[in-house]
Amino acid sequence: MELLDWGYTRKYNIKAYFSKFPHSLVVFRQIKDYYFVYQVHWKELDPVVTRDDLEEMELLLNQELGLEKAYLNRKSRTHV
């Protein structure tokens, strides 16, 4: 999967599109020093989004923003 396009929204969220889900808008919110998936505006033209897909989207966006280290060191990851 690749990050196709992203941009900031009015409320400092990030909206993005990914190659595996080109018709579905993914909205990210910031928590501490990284971004996580907040909403997926899924379209039936795309495959169903799985938990693994969500994690890959988060990793790709955080890599793009230079926040990969903070994302990988998050507390919730150590409890999984």
C-alpha angle 20/21/27, rounded to 5°?
Answer: 125
Which amino acid, residue 57?
A: M
Q: Can you give the pLDDT at residue 49?
A: 96
Domain ranges of the chain: 3-78
Strand 21-31's sheet: what is its strand order? 3-8, 14-18, 21-31, 34-41
Q: Is the pTM of this model over 0.75?
A: yes
pLDDT band at 10 (very low <50, low <70, confident <90, very high): confident
Residues in CB range of 1: below 8 A, 6 or more apart: 18, 19, 20, 53, 56, 57, 60
Q: Are 56 and 20 in contact (CB under 8 A)?
A: no
Decide if pLDDT at 77 tops 70: no
